[in-house]
Amino acid sequence: MSIKTRFAPSPTGYLHVGGARTALFSWLHAKKNKGSFVLRIEDTDLERSTQESVDAILEGMQWLGLDYDEGPYYQTQRFDRYNEIIQQLLAQGDAYYCYCSKEELNALREQQMADKQKPRYNGKCRDNAEQQAELNRVIRFRNPDEGEVLIDDLVKGKIIVANKELDDLIIARTDGTPTYNLTVVVDDMDMGITHVVRGDDHVNNTPRQINILKALGADLPHYAHLPMILGDDGARLSKRHGAVGVMQYRDDGYLPEALLNYLVRLGWSHGDQEIFSREEMIELFDLSQVNVAASAFNTEKLLWINHQYIMNSDPELVAKHLQWHMQQRGIDAETQGPALVELVKAQRERSKTLVEMANASVYFYQDFSEYDAKAAKKNFKQGTDEVLQVLLDAFTKVPEWQGEVLHDIVLQIAEQLELKLGKVAQPLRVAVCGTGMSPSIDVTLSLLGREKTLSRLERAINYIKENKN
Ligand code: GLU
């Protein structure tokens, strides 16, 4: 039988790191087994679900490259089907109407707490055949009294829960809308899900879901509950740790491949290998090797992986992502300066993120408004204008604008003026880049091109003359 997994987010916020890791593991299990992967939007909580959040989830999945074979399905489009199943459970005697009021249930809970018992529904309406006003009734699933539920979890191992621990759970609210445990069961059944991969915050729901599936005569899926992700301080990962939506990582200059690589290592390992291509992940990933213990998010490590990807990925791929960052800065690389691929090659060693790379590259495309104050003070001295003038004259005459040729000219001029190379190259760098940091001078000049170099040299010469005191 072919394998089918799903990712079933509730659209009540961004696609965050934990959700993305769940999606990735579920996706990997499907890919590895040549199965299929379903995206299901669990939007039945009408008050908390938003279109904005649906869009953010879809955007995050796309950016990460987690493609789905089916979906997105929306639970709000399946209410008729849920209702059909609820009616079937009622007809079978596996569900019943419950007329207990909130006050009654509160009193029951308080009593149970006072008696040091686990708060649970006492089954009062189980055998209440008498139909009452529809207004305030809910529908409960009649959980079996005897026996136990076995979950053979692919990550956690065997979990056994006695049925007498489980009370009769509400499957339809007073307004008739189905609850989470019912919709998940119906969807997993109808969609033929063979492996439910999800966060272990759902592990308490699983025995209840299994009992409903059994009542419906459905095949049971396998379950894999993933341990949670902690922040550096050992607390559950939250916004406080900077764990925000996945798209924030794009904005912060991470490559999706790097984030995926980082996520796959959160709770899974293969020897001490750190870097996995997408293909390798698919080949090597195994749900049964997922750690039982929670794993901690480590931003430093993510940054290191990102740098590895920036340095070692195909520059074309990096350039594609860099383009977005340049656009954010109002730069159209095609018309304003060097090809982004060349820029990537020049800047990748020194850039841990694409934001660093973009910020350090603006001058290749746009004139800077002012010189970096420290760099100007240090490098623009009396007489520097004359050095720059010699460079300008030589560069104006050079037949071919080529990095090595330009570098040789700088060397010759230094020799001719009896100056150390740094006394020529560094003022030149500040003159053309506005800052003292850039790739090597040959690469910098060849990326800048003749026009920008010459006009900026002129500008610097005038600046030094004007600022002479
Ligand atoms: N919609 C649930 C959530 O976002 C997940 C349900 C499931 O995976 O079974 O937490």
Cβ–ligand 1 contact at 42 (below 6 Å): yes
Please determine, for residue 242, whether its predicted confidence score (pLDDT) is greater than 70: no
pLDDT at 358: 98
Task: Report which ligand 1 atom has the smallest distance to the Cα of 205.
Answer: 9
3-state secondary structure of 13: coil
Mean pLDDT, the chain, whole residue set: 95
Beta strands in 200-262 (DSSP E): 222-226, 229-230
pTM, to two decimals: 0.93
Using a 10 angstrom Cβ sphere, with 0-12 exposed, 13-18 middle and 19 or more buried, the burial of residue 238 is middle
363 CB-near residues (< 8 Å, 6+ apart): 432, 433, 434, 435, 438
Cβ–ligand 1 contact at 385 (below 6 Å): no
Cβ–ligand 1 contact at 224 (below 6 Å): no
Ligand 1 centroid distance, CA of 185 (Å): 11
Question: Which of 54, 193, 202, 203, when mutated, tests ligand 1's pocket best, judged by the most ligand atoms within 8 Å of its CB?
Answer: 202
- pLDDT category at 231 given cuts 50, 70, 90 is confident
Q: How far apart are CA 149 and CA 319, in angstroms?
A: 53
Residue 40, beta-bridge partner list:
73
107 CB-near residues (< 8 Å, 6+ apart): none
Task: Report which ligand 1 atom has the smallest distance to the Cα of 201.
Answer: 10
Closest C-alpha residue for ligand 1 atom 6: 8
Active-site annotation, residues = 239
pLDDT tens, position by position, 297-315: 999 999 999 999 999 999 9
- pLDDT category at 241 given cuts 50, 70, 90 is confident
Nearest to 125 by CA among 104, 151, 103: 104
Q: How far apart are CA 132 and CA 58, in angstroms?
A: 44
Cβ–ligand 1 contact at 168 (below 6 Å): no
pLDDT tens, position by position, 140-186: 999 999 999 999 999 999 999 999 999 999 999 999 999 999 999 99
Ligand 1 centroid distance, CA of 114 (Å): 33
Nearest to 139 by CA among 169, 181, 103: 169
Residue 95, beta-bridge partner list:
141
Cβ–ligand 1 contact at 198 (below 6 Å): yes
Cβ–ligand 1 contact at 202 (below 6 Å): yes
Please determine, for residue 1, whether its predicted confidence score (pLDDT) is greater than 80: no
pLDDT tens, position by position, 26-42: 999 999 999 999 999 99
Please determine, for residue 469, whether its predicted confidence score (pLDDT) is greater than 60: no
Task: Report which ligand 1 atom has the smallest distance to the Cα of 197.
Answer: 8
Question: Which of 198, 220, 222, 226, when mutated, tests ligand 1's pocket best, judged by the most ligand atoms within 8 Å of its CB?
Answer: 198
- pLDDT category at 234 given cuts 50, 70, 90 is confident
